[in-house]
C-alpha cells in the first residue's frame, strides 16, 4: 500500500471555530490490514458475516422497510442481524432511500463514528441515480460519491424479502473478503471529503468524526 499517500499531515478542521478546534482530533484515519494468517482472517470474516449489527438510523422513506425485517413475519434475527441504536456498536449502515443534503451530513457523522470493518448498503433506486428525485435541489444523486457503498438493493421500494436477499448477498461478500468499503473511504479520503464539502454548505464539524 502506498504509504506516501497517507503522510499528508493532520486534518485542518477548517469548518470549526478557532476555540473549538482544540477540542477535536485532527488525526487522519488509517486503512487497516487483514490478519496476517489467512485462516484467522477467513474465520473472522465468517464471524463478521454472521453478526451483522444494523445501525437503526432511518435515513429516508425506505427505513419503513427495515422495521418489518425484525418482526415475526421475516425475523432477521435468525440470520444474525440485530438493530443497534448507536453507531459505535453497529457494523452495517443501511441508507434507506433518498439522502437529502441535510441528512447526508448526519449520515457522514454516523458513518465515521462506526468502528471498522463497516459496510454500507444502499436501499432503493434513489442512492444509485437519484430516482424520482434526480432533479431535486436538496438530494444527492450518486451516493457513491460521498460514502463508499458495498451493496446496492434496487427497487422503489424494495420489499423486505429483497432486503433479506440483500443481507444474504452482503454476508457472501463479507465472507469472501470483498466488502472493503471502509478501506476505500480511507484511501480516497480527500476525494470523498471534497465531494461531501461541495454539497454540504454549512460544514461545521471536524473533517473526521472520530
Partner 1 sequence: MQDWPVRIGYFLINLTIVGLYGMLLSGIVARTLAKVQGRIGIPVYQPFIDLLKNLGKRTAVSHGAMFYLGPVFRLAGGIGTLAFVPVLYGSEMFSNFNSAGDLLLAMYFMFFGQLGMAIGAGESGHPFSAIGVARGLGQMTAYEVPFALAIIAIVVQYGSLSINDIVAAQQGGILNWTLFTNPLAVIAAMIAFLGMTGYSPFDVTMAPNEIPIGPPTEYHSSYLAMMTMNRAVFAGAKLILFMDLFFGGATNLVELVIKTWAIYMVAVVVGAAFPRFRVDQSIRFFLRYPTLIGIAAIGYTQAVLLP
Q: Which of 148, 136, 133 is nearest to 191 (CA)?
A: 148
- 88 contributes a contact to partner 1 by CB under 8 A: yes
CB of 140 to partner 1, least distance (A): 26
Q: What angle do CA 146, 150, 109 make, to 5 degrees?
A: 40
Among 59, 91, 110, 139, binds partner 1 (CB under 8 A): 91
CB of 16 to partner 1, least distance (A): 17
Strands 119-123 and 151-153: parallel
Dihedral of alpha carbons 20, 26, 31, 37, sign: negative
Q: Please list, residue by residue across 89-113, b when 16 or more beta carbons sit within 10 angstroms of its beta carbon and e when fewer do.
A: ebbbbbbbbbbbbebbbebbebbbb
- 5 contributes a contact to partner 1 by CB under 8 A: no
Among 15, 58, 68, 80, binds partner 1 (CB under 8 A): 80
Count, residues near partner 1 per rule CB under 8 A: 23
- Helix, strand, or coil (residue 198): helix
- 89 contributes a contact to partner 1 by CB under 8 A: yes
The C-alpha atoms of residue 10 and residue 65 are separated, in whole angstroms, by: 40
Task: Say if residues 94 and 65 touch (Cβ distance below 8 Å).
Answer: no
Among 1, 7, 37, 72, binds partner 1 (CB under 8 A): 72
Q: Which residues pair with 123 in a beta bridge?
A: 96, 153
Q: Is the CB of 86 or the CB of 129 nearer to partner 1?
A: 86
Site string for partner 1, 19-58 (x = CB under 8 A): -------------x-----------x--xx-xx-------
Q: Is the CB of 117 or the CB of 181 nearer to partner 1?
A: 117
CB of 3 to partner 1, least distance (A): 18
Q: How many CB atoms lie within 10 A of CB 1?
A: 8
- 67 contributes a contact to partner 1 by CB under 8 A: no
Which residues contact partner 1 (rule: CB under 8 A)?
A: 32, 44, 47-48, 50-51, 71-72, 75, 77-78, 80, 82, 84-86, 88-89, 91, 115-117, 210
Amino acid at each position: 500500500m502506498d504509504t506516501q499517500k497517507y503522510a499528508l499531515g493532520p486534518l485542518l478542521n477548517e469548518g470549526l471555530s478557532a476555540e473549538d478546534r482544540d477540542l477535536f482530533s485532527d488525526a487522519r484515519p488509517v486503512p487497516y490490514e487483514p490478519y496476517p494468517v489467512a485462516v484467522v482472517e477467513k474465520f473472522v470474516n465468517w464471524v463478521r458475516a454472521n453478526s451483522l449489527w444494523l445501525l437503526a438510523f432511518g435515513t429516508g422513506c425506505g427505513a419503513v422497510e427495515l422495521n418489518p425485517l425484525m418482526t415475526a413475519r421475516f425475523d432477521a434475527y435468525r440470520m444474525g442481524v440485530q438493530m443497534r441504536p448507536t453507531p459505535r456498536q453497529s457494523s452495517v449502515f443501511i441508507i434507506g432511500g433518498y439522502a437529502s443534503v441535510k441528512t447526508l451530513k448526519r449520515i457522514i457523522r454516523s458513518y465515521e463514528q462506526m468502528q471498522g470493518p463497516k459496510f454500507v448498503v444502499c436501499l432503493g433506486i434513489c442512492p444509485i441515480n437519484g430516482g424520482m428525485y434526480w432533479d431535486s435541489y436538496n438530494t444527492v444523486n450518486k451516493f457513491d460519491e460521498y460514502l463508499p457503498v458495498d451493496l446496492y438493493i434496487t427497487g422503489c421500494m424494495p420489499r423486505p424479502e429483497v432486503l433479506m436477499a440483500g443481507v444474504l448477498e452482503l454476508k457472501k461478500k463479507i465472507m469472501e473478503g470483498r466488502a472493503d468499503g471502509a478501506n476505500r473511504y480511507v484511501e480516497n479520503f480527500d476525494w470523498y471529503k471534497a465531494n461531501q464539502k461541495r454539497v454540504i454548505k454549512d460544514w461545521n464539524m471536524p473533517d473526521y468524526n472520530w
